[in-house]
Each structure stands twice: as C-alpha cells, then as structure tokens.
C-alpha cells in the first residue's frame, strides 16, 4: 500500500529496521517491522498451552493517492481503509477483532464525510466481526486522510509470516490479478480472511503475503525475507483478471504484465510444500487457489513462458494514481 517517492519506501523501512532499538524488559514483540502485521506475545513468559499472539497492523490512505474523495465518495474510502487492514490480518492467517480509526477530515464537509466513512468502515467491519473501539477525529483545510489500525489474533496454529518460504515450495494465489486500480475494484477489497484460515487449517503454509503492491513486488518480499531465495512463475498459470484483459484486449502479454505488477488486488500469495499444493488444487477444492510457480534456491524472479524460455521479471508495483512506475 505504501510509497515514499524519492529513495522509496523499502529503503526507508530498511533504514528503520537497521536502527538499534533497546529491548525493554518483558518485551511483547515477537515480530516487529517488516511483515504484514507485527506479532505481540502478551505473556512472553506464559507457560499456558494456548499460544496467544496479538496481531497489529496499520494503513493510511490519502485523498489523491489511494482514492479520490470527490469521485469515489466517503463510504468507499471507509470501506477500502478497513479492507486493506483486514487484508494484512488475512496475510498472517489471523482473526481480526478490533479497530481504531484516526481521520483528518476536510473542514468544509467534515460531518458528511465522517458519516460516510463510518458507514463504509462498519460495513466491512461488521461482516468480519471487527469492533470499532476508538479513534481520533480532526478537521483541517487539507485533503481527507484516514489511518486505521486493526488488532487481531493468530489461531493456535500460529501466525504465518513472510519469511518461511523454502526451495521447492509451490507458489499459490487466491484469485485473479491485475487492473484493479483502473476498474475501481481497489475500492472494494475482499479481505481473504476465511480463505486464509481454511488454508492454514488444511495445509502447512510456509510463507504468505497479501498482494497490495503487486505480485512481482510482494512475492519478492517473501523471497528476500526468506533468506534470499528465487522463484519461477509459469506465465500460463497466472490468473489474469478480466479488469486486466480489458486494459489490453488484444495483447495477452500486456494483460499478464498488469497481473504481475499492478497491485491492490488484495488476494493472498502463499508458498507451501508441493504435496499440500496438489491437495489444495484438486478439482472442487475450496477455497479456489491457483498454483502459479515454485520457489527456487537461486535468487531472482523468473517467468517461464509457454515456449519454455525463462525471462527475468523486474519487481515493480505500477502506480496507477500517479500513472508511473512506483519505486
């Protein structure tokens, strides 16, 4: 979801992660900056048989970057703001429980916008059993900004991280990709919470991430966090969304590029042992998943074309709101 222009979000996050930080006595932190959620263990010394991991994630959306208030309306903004956060909880195979919301409202229409946001937030929150427990409301002369923080819990199988991929793993995605920003689909994310929980119960997921920046970029996070692995994607196996095809009706390669790089699909990308993948991809299996490639020992992201040729893929998210390639 994020970007900082200039030297880029990832350079900045790397810098933050490299800063020395004292670890306070009784630290809650089991996993800090760099995954879809932080993982907090509230009783690090607890001998209880129930692992209880708290998940925390935050995402901020700004008018003109992630939505256009005038065009999309406040309710869509609230819906998206909740959705992108719930998607981060899904990426850890967690259960979302509570949310707090901070907003900077455009002064001119503060009340109307606030009520619209609330309706959109609640529509998605209610459906997923998430309670709005607090917030901070402000008005100013600037554009609408909304920051949502969601708390959730890992199941007793634990949270799934980005960092567990292994060479030979199959790579799966939960749905078709590409064209989300052009079609407006990015405003109606359907966080794959139920799907993630079901997959986590029935398979040994090694690594998982939600597809917000784009498949090439997000899969690369898994590869980096898993110790510098590589991946080979099968061009013909990547599910291309109709929204992407509509962007390139006569050019299937261009449509595939959208599926690889567009972002804001909010599907999940996961890696697991090939045997598990076969079971999940059996005819009639639920949820529907797509096996798109495998994890390799050699670093780098490759695309295997129909003719068998391997082509390097440059990880990049395409920024449709700016109309240019993001960093």
Site string for a second copy, 106-125 (x = CB under 8 A): -x--xx--xx--x---x---
Q: Which residues pair with 107 in a beta bridge?
A: none
Question: Are 263 and 180 spatial neighbours (Cβ–Cβ below 8 Å)?
Answer: yes
CB 71 to a second copy: min, Å: 17
Look at strands 94-106 and 131-140 and give their pairing. parallel
Asked whether position 137 contacts a second copy by CB under 8 A, the answer is yes
Nearest CA to 275 among 187, 206, 210? 206
Q: Given the structure tokens 């879809």, which residue do they identify?
A: 36
CA-to-CA dists, residue 196 to 16, 28, 260, angstroms: 29, 25, 21
CB 297 to a second copy: min, Å: 30
Of 51, 68, 123, 139, the one binding a second copy by CB under 8 A: 139
The residue (of 98 and 254) whose beta carbon lies closer to a second copy is 98
Q: Which of residues 9-68 bind a second copy (CB under 8 A)?
A: 9, 12-13, 15-16, 19, 21-25, 27-29, 31-33, 37-38, 40, 42-43, 52, 54, 56-60, 62-65
Asked whether position 299 contacts a second copy by CB under 8 A, the answer is no
The residue (of 248 and 321) whose beta carbon lies closer to a second copy is 321
CB 20 to a second copy: min, Å: 10
- The helix/strand/coil state of 299 is coil
Q: Which of residues 143-202 bind a second copy (CB under 8 A)?
A: 143, 145, 147, 149, 151, 153
CA-to-CA dists, residue 24 to 21, 51, 152, angstroms: 9, 21, 23
- Beta carbons within 8 Å of 182's beta carbon, 6+ residues apart: 243, 246, 247, 320
Of 51, 68, 98, 252, the one binding a second copy by CB under 8 A: 98
């Amino acid at each position: 979801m994020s970007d900082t222009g200039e030297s880029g979000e990832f350079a900045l996050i790397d810098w933050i992660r490299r800063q020395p930080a004292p670890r306070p006595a009784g630290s809650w932190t089991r996993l800090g900056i760099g995954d879809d959620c932080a993982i907090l263990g509230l009783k690090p010394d607890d001998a209880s048989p129930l692992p209880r991991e708290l998940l925390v994630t935050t995402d901020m959306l700004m008018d003109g970057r992630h939505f256009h208030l005038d065009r999309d309306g406040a309710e869509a903004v609230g819906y998206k703001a909740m959705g992108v956060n719930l998607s981060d909880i899904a990426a850890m195979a967690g259960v979302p429980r509570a949310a707090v919301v901070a907003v900077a409202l455009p002064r001119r229409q503060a009340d109307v916008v606030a009520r619209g946001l609330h309706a959109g937030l609640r529509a998605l929150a209610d459906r997923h059993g998430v309670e709005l427990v607090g917030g901070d409301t402000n008005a100013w002369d600037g554009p609408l900004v909304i920051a949502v923080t969601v708390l959730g819990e890992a199941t007793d199988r634990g949270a799934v991280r980005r960092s567990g991929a292994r060479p030979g793993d199959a790579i799966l995605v939960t749905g078709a990709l590409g064209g989300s920003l052009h079609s407006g689909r990015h405003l109606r994310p359907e966080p794959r919470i139920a799907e993630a929980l079901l997959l986590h119960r029935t398979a040994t997921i090694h690594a998982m991430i939600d597809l917000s920046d784009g498949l090439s970029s997000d899969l690369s996070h898994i590869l980096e966090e898993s110790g510098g692995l590589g991946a080979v994607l099968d061009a013909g196996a990547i599910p291309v969304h109709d929204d992407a095809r509509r962007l390139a009706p006569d050019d299937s390669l261009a449509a595939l590029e959208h599926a690889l790089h567009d972002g804001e699909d909010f599907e999940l990308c996961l890696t697991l042992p090939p045997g598990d993948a076969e079971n999940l991809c059996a005819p009639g299996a639920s949820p529907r998943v797509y096996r798109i490639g495998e994890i390799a020992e050699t670093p780098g992201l490759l695309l295997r074309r129909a003719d068998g040729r391997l082509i390097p893929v440059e990880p990049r998210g395409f920024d449709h709101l700016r109309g240019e390639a993001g960093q």
